Structure 1
């Protein structure tokens, strides 16, 4: 069963010391594969600000971790595994510096791209996912709060990452212990004031009573502003974040950072053409096929802003500016999700009524070379998760490599909310089956979060701006399915 996002954390390792080399057999001198190595995490090195605190990992944190089920991934994507401890292609070792890894990469296209990017220095960062065991928080004299990771329960994956930034993809933090620390800190401050409050309590109560009885004439012991008695209000020192599904469909698409606002992305399309037979000394014939298709893109600017008065910023018990930035980053993900899902729903549509119909899409409609994924909404997932085959086995099978923890016909399942991927009608469940990376191209020109002072209003402005475009790559790489089960299904 997949762990909840509350239990998972991800963290960036910028100085990962990544290296790439061709490994050889010592006796035969033959190449045995392409390997990369480096550090997935390092002990004792403080992170950047993670939203009110920095973090470091103690040397004892990994003592109880079982790495036997650990994967090396590309950008935390379980549909793009690079190596695994299980098949001995991933070797992990805890040393004085941190968690060192050495991986022999598989022969997939994306693995070759990772090797090339690491060997040329384009990619030099790592990230790792973990489940927290024990941590603690301390504050120094300058007010810097440091989180110490003392024990880690599990490290299910380490990832080569292409975005060396502390963004929403790489900074997922379980803040329950941090909130407990802040609460304890506030309570401690309240206890230090308890004696003063008790000493003044009777005076304040009597003063307030006299103020009411005298209709505001007697004000001894009562603080007033604008002829109104000030009644203290309770201040809650944290922001309550409603739990909602947190994902970004862009991680499954092909995302390219582009240098211009518009352009063309060439796509090799000639997969079935053949070379013509040539007679001796005859002229070589032209290839009778179009080798490339062009995906034209033109980025659009999508943005939103919010203003915060400096009074709110100064009086808030929480870092309200950072909280707003966190919420703005979620809006960026929401924007990606909306446009990618709208595009996926325009792919060839199949209306099916049986499980055999679904199998036919996988077996016949889609090319077998595609790295297929199934995207389900909550309703469809629930329906399929309750079905059993003729042997009494549930249709959705456990799969540790799948984002949802389940697979359908061996294909990893991605689960998203009904709100984003709504049922077209009652009793009909939508799904996307296909290779999302071959289907959707995201041209990303720029993505920023900006902050500025509005002096005339004594306030601050914050904004999130993205310049993206979303286009189809291969019309035949995915299918939009509307599954209306037969009553006996």
Structure 2
């Protein structure tokens, strides 16, 4: 089981931006939509999030909204309801009332202009399932239950910051694509030698 924190980046169709009557700047959108295949992660596998994967976290965890995964730029928290998260029929929806400080204003401006158009989330896996898709020669992972820790508006994919390494994938029995290719070539060579 992978126990290190993982981070996923998703480009969302559009983040909602609004200013409330009291001057509070808010942003919102979806952290992730259910059962939609991700882009290729580390060149090794695709991923989906099952409906309800965040339910336990939403009941138990303190979850923070961070600016680009930076713990020194907290945008909101579910404890004081400046971060609101809800699982609906489409996915995990979020809304953040941004702080009235420099990074809150900067975040609002960058999102309003469209410079920042992604959402990322940091989590630990409680339960997942893996499937090998032979036609594509690729694995697909489904996140069934995750320990959600943070959500972040972010301009760039966060995969390089993740602590998960290919060695961890191998520990799960996921054979990296390059290794599968080498094993296939070796078997074909052995078959050729047997035919001689």
Sort the TM-score into its range (normalised by shorter chain): 0.7 to 0.9
Q: Which runs of 4+ in 1 moved over 6 A?
A: none
- Aligned partners of 1:35 and 1:102 also within 8 Å: yes
> Matches of 2:117 and 2:28 in 1, distance apart?
11
Q: Is 2:30 aligned against 1:36?
A: no
> Matches of 1:71 and 1:124 in 2, distance apart?
19
Q: Is 2:38 aligned against 1:47?
A: yes
When normalised by structure 1's length, the TM-score is: 0.34
Q: Which has the higher contact order (CA 8 A, sep 6+)?
A: 2
> Matches of 1:106 and 1:113 in 2, distance apart?
10
> Matches of 1:89 and 1:68 in 2, distance apart?
15
| SS of equivalent residue, structure 1 residue 45 | coil
Match runs of 1:225-244 below 5 Å: none
Given candidates 145, 156, 177, the residue that maps to 1:151 is 145
Query: What is the aligned partner in structure 2 of residue 391 from structure 1?
Result: none
| SS of equivalent residue, structure 1 residue 36 | strand
Larger Rg: 1
> Matches of 1:181 and 1:114 in 2, distance apart?
41
> Matches of 1:156 and 1:78 in 2, distance apart?
11
Match runs of 1:339-350 below 5 Å: none
Query: What is the aligned partner in structure 2 of residue 444 from structure 1?
Result: none
C-alpha displacement at 1:45, in angstroms? 1.3
Match runs of 1:112-123 below 5 Å: 112-123=105-116
> Matches of 2:75 and 2:87 in 1, distance apart?
20
Given candidates 42, 60, 63, the residue that maps to 1:70 is 63
Given candidates 154, 157, 179, the residue that maps to 2:171 is 179
What does the per-residue CA deviation read over 1:440-473, in whole Å, with 9 as the maximum and x for residues that have no partner?
xxxxxxxxxxxxxxxxxxxxxxxxxxxxxxxxxx
How many residues are paired up? 177
C-alpha displacement at 1:63, in angstroms? 2.5
| SS of equivalent residue, structure 1 residue 106 | coil
Q: Is 2:19 aligned against 1:19?
A: no
C-alpha displacement at 1:139, in angstroms? 1.4
Q: Is 2:3 aligned against 1:10?
A: no
Given candidates 90, 93, 98, the residue that maps to 2:86 is 93
| SS of equivalent residue, structure 1 residue 88 | coil
Structure 1: give runs of 5+ residues left out of the alignment: 25-30, 184-236, 239-313, 318-489
The alpha-carbon distance between structure 1 residues 182 and 68, as it changes in their structure 2 partners (threshold 3 A), is closer
| SS of equivalent residue, structure 2 residue 173 | helix
Q: Is 2:122 aligned against 1:125?
A: no
Q: Is 2:101 aligned against 1:108?
A: yes
- Aligned partners of 1:53 and 1:144 also within 8 Å: yes
> Superposition RMSD on alpha carbons, in Å?
2.6
C-alpha displacement at 1:166, in angstroms? 5.6
C-alpha displacement at 1:178, in angstroms? 5.4
Query: What is the aligned partner in structure 1 of residue 48 from structure 2?
Result: 56
C-alpha displacement at 1:167, in angstroms? 4.1
| SS of equivalent residue, structure 1 residue 126 | strand
